[in-house]
Amino acid sequence: MQKNVFEYLERLSSGDVDEQSVQEIFKFIRDSLSVIPPEGLERRSKGERIGFLISRLNRPLRVCGIVKNEGEPGGGPFWVEHANHSISLQIVESSQVDMKSTTQRDIWASSTHFSPVDLVCGVRDYTGTPFDLTHFVDPDTGFISVKSKQGKELKALELPGLWNGSMAYWNTILVEVPLITFNPIKIVLDLLRKEHQPA
């Protein structure tokens, strides 16, 4: 996948790209990277469309191994609309969802898959230069979570998490992996699960 991204970036950066190539690359970002461009972009100038494609392709790449949702606490993959009205796959945590909204609560409940179990990351651009990963963080994805300590409820301001905010502007590919690869330890009692017992 990264090889394809790099080849497309080299073609786009060369400036020698015909309309057929532009359409081919738009199809690639839709079908392979699950990026839906802003509405009306296809009517803009060729230069604007090429600029959008370069900005969408020239970013870190993450391949997330996800498992079927079996009710474990945590986030999952959802479509998210960005400020520029493009839409992409993101990992969303429950604390980012307005559970008072029936619509959002229903969307959350319909989740079929669970947060990344495995990650493979591409952190260099097509020239081999490491990305400055701080440029791909969405600082607005920090949130307030409710915790408890010694029976007392506490509120905590959390910075953007690894899955959601810190990788918000990465390109994301989701791959379903077998459930056996996911053996979380969220509470001490999880250590009693058969997956964590000696063989």
Mind listing the pLDDT tens digit for each residue in 90-116?
A: 888 777 788 898 998 888 888 888 776
Closest CA to 56 of 134, 172, 137: 172
For residue 43, CA distances in Å to 48, 68, 80 come to 10, 39, 23
What mean pLDDT is predicted for residues 51-68? 92
Nearest to 169 by CA among 51, 63, 62, 48: 62
Stretch (H or E) spanning 81: strand 76-81
In a domain, 185, yes or no: no
Question: Based on the number of CB atoms within 10 Å of its own CB, is 107 exposed (0-12), middle (13-18) or buried (19 or more)?
Answer: middle
* Residue 173, H or E segment: strand 171-176
Q: Does 196 map to a domain?
A: no
Its pTM stands at 0.77
The domain of 138 spans 61-180
Compute φ and ψ for 150, nearest 5 degrees: 50, 40
CA–CA gap between residue 87 and residue 79 (Å, rounded): 6
Domain count along the chain: 2
Average pLDDT over residues 29-58: 91
Flag whether 199 is in a domain: no
103 and 44, same domain (yes or no): no
Return the sign of the alpha-carbon dihedral for residues 12, 15, 16, 18. Answer: positive
pLDDT digits (tens, 9 = 90+) for 143-187: 777 888 898 999 888 777 766 678 888 999 988 888 777 766 667
Note whether 60 and 136 are within 8 A (CB): yes
Categorize the per-residue pLDDT at 22 as very low, low, confident or very high, splitting at 50, 70 and 90: very high
Q: Are 25 and 122 in a shared domain?
A: no
CB 178 within 8 Å of CB 66: no
Please tell me whether residues 144 and 116 are part of one structural domain: yes
Are both 79 and 149 inside the same structural domain?
Answer: yes
